[in-house]
Homo-oligomer: A and B are copies of this chain.
Amino acid sequence: MTEVCSQEPVRRLPDWLQAQAVRRPRQRAIEATTGALTYEELLYAALSCAASLYDQGLREGQRAAILLKDSFAHVIALHALIQLGAILVPLNWRLSAAELAYQVKDCDAQLLICDAHTKSLADEVNQIYDFPAGVIESSKLRWDARGGSRGVFKSDIDLTAPHCIVYTSGTTGRPKGAIITYQNHWWSAMGSVLQLGLRLDERWLVPMPLFHVGGMGVLMRSLIYGTTVVAHNGFDVERVDRALAHERITLASLVPAMLQRLLEKRNEPYPDTLRAVLLGGGPAPKPLLERALGLRIPINQSYGLTESNTQVATLMAEDALAKVGSSGKPLANVRLAIYSADGPTSAPHVEGEILVQSPTVITGYFNRPEATEDAFRDGWLHTGDIGAFDEDGFLYVLDRRTDLIVSGGENVYPAEVESALLRLDGVLDAGVVAKTDTVWGQVPVAFVVLRDQGLLTDETEARWRTQLREALAHYKIPQAFYSVPSLPRNASGKLLRRELREWVKTRC
């Protein structure tokens, strides 16, 4: 009997922005603090900005780092790079120059785009890593939203091509560049639609930084949908409250610390047009969830990683109270499992490492074959997080990567902070763990063994803080230092952070 042939997998699509400029030319694409554009205007702006970057020496396939606090400039740069076919490397402006230089060197970035707020940090980075095509302030880039340039670099999107490299710290503390492709974005966008539905007049508020996958995901999804992003420059509680109350916001992406501050002042519900608040970046305390649901705010707790390009599980608002503490069920097309002695399982009440299969999962880290092999074994992404399912298939994340500290939505890896501590004068040994914090969810605290076994003075601590700031982002600096005679280590010398966490509970 004749076989019926298979089809080649879909690999190319018409360019998303060019298509929206035809399908929805006058639909608002972006509303930001410093500007707003329709899809037609955004295409023109992106094309002329791309031409400008090309003139600066940037070519298809090369990496372009962006270090922008101005979300409007960030959006235009992101789209310009897509039009040019260059690979975006979004940088976290909370990091130190040394941390940033490591990332741009790792990925051979060709140039760096900054704004007035980040210019001095960008120049510092450029002193460590000399960008082949230099540092460019976004205000120096030509762009014209009224059709100045109509040249098109490429009219297709290759779904399998890399869109960006996003750096994520590992358990060792050495950042790894997660390569996110266009198809990762496509499947994230569709997973979100199948979870939340879609309105054609969607307005998605993102007061989160755009350099993480959470913020970037909102930009890419809205592009794919042809809907509106409302982007703020950082989190301003009054402004977010005003937007939710008066600006017809339908979706909002927040981290628990933002929700916490928002609800400190809020006593009445937001309008019904607010369909869902996606809460990512670490677990939310139960009282916060209860207060939010009491105000009829439709909280959708989610679980995701950079390596899965945002959420892979979401707890819908209607299950929020019955399943407090859960991250919900896997999104459409996602398979989650727990790594058990018998291999991957979805059986209830088995605790183990959370495994992910999803078309949103990256293939690997840039130039890091070993780390890639370690994280992507047997067809599963090994998250390093510990979790379990309940009898209804709801996922509970019990421990984020054992040691990971999530502070205000930012990941802090103890190993990285410990390395920095060990470089300080007088520090013989150091251990860093999380302490619960009402504002930030968690903050890092440090236990240090002093070389001279002496007391830790305020002067020493102040000097340390200054020194640490040269190497580490602000949110990674321990909130407190505790001098101890020795640290708990096992026979092979491995630090027992679980024990340190007990110390925090009893001593701090």
**Interface residues, chain A, with chain B CB atoms under 8 Å away:** 1-11, 13-14, 19, 22-23, 61-63, 87, 108, 158-162, 165, 179, 181, 183-184, 187, 190, 193-194, 196-200, 224-226, 329-330, 332-335, 357, 359, 362-364, 366-367, 393
Pairwise interchain contact A332-B23, C-beta atoms closer than 8 A: yes
**17 pairs, CB–CB < 8 Å, chain A vs chain B:** A1-B62, A1-B108, A2-B108, A4-B61, A6-B162, A7-B160, A9-B11, A10-B159, A10-B183, A13-B359, A14-B333, A14-B335, A14-B357, A193-B198, A197-B200, A224-B332, A226-B332
Residues of B within 8 A of A332 (CB): 19, 23, 224, 226
Q: Bound complex: CA of A243 vs CA of B380, how far in Å?
A: 45
Pairwise interchain contact A7-B363, C-beta atoms closer than 8 A: yes
Q: Bound complex: CA of A330 vs CA of B162, how far in Å?
A: 27
Q: Determine the residue in chain B with the shortest Cβ distance to A159.
A: B9
Pairwise interchain contact B63-A4, C-beta atoms closer than 8 A: yes
What is the distance, in angstroms, from A392's C-beta to the closest C-beta of chain B? 9
Residues of B within 8 A of A362 (CB): 7
Q: Determine the residue in chain B with the shortest Cβ distance to A1.
A: B108
Within 8 Å by CB of A333, from B19, B161, B334, lies B19
Q: Determine the residue in chain B with the shortest Cβ distance to A165.
A: B4
- Residue of A63, A197, A198 with highest tally of chain B CB at under 10 A: A197
Residues of B within 8 A of A2 (CB): 108, 366-367
Pairwise interchain contact A8-B162, C-beta atoms closer than 8 A: no
Q: Bound complex: CA of A224 vs CA of B23, how far in Å?
A: 24
Q: Determine the residue in chain B with the shortest Cβ distance to A183.
A: B10
- Residue of A1, A9, A193, A198 with highest tally of chain B CB at under 10 A: A9
Residues of B within 8 A of A329 (CB): 22-23
Residues of B within 8 A of A161 (CB): 6
Given A10-B183, A333-B13: A197 and B194 within 8 A (CB)? no
What is the distance, in angstroms, from A365's C-beta to the closest C-beta of chain B? 10
Q: Bound complex: CA of A17 vs CA of B2, how far in Å?
A: 28
Residues of B within 8 A of A87 (CB): 4
4 smallest CB-CB distances across A and B, nearest first, come from A9-B9, A10-B359, A6-B160, A4-B162
What is the distance, in angstroms, from A469's C-beta to the closest C-beta of chain B? 32
Residues of B within 8 A of A158 (CB): 6
Residues of B within 8 A of A7 (CB): 160, 162, 179, 181, 183-184, 362-363
Residues of B within 8 A of A159 (CB): 9-10
Q: Bound complex: CA of A5 vs CA of B61, how far in Å?
A: 10
Q: Bound complex: CA of A367 vs CA of B225, how far in Å?
A: 38
Residues of B within 8 A of A3 (CB): 61
Q: Determine the residue in chain B with the shortest Cβ distance to A20.
A: B332
Q: Bound complex: CA of A160 vs CA of B9, how far in Å?
A: 6
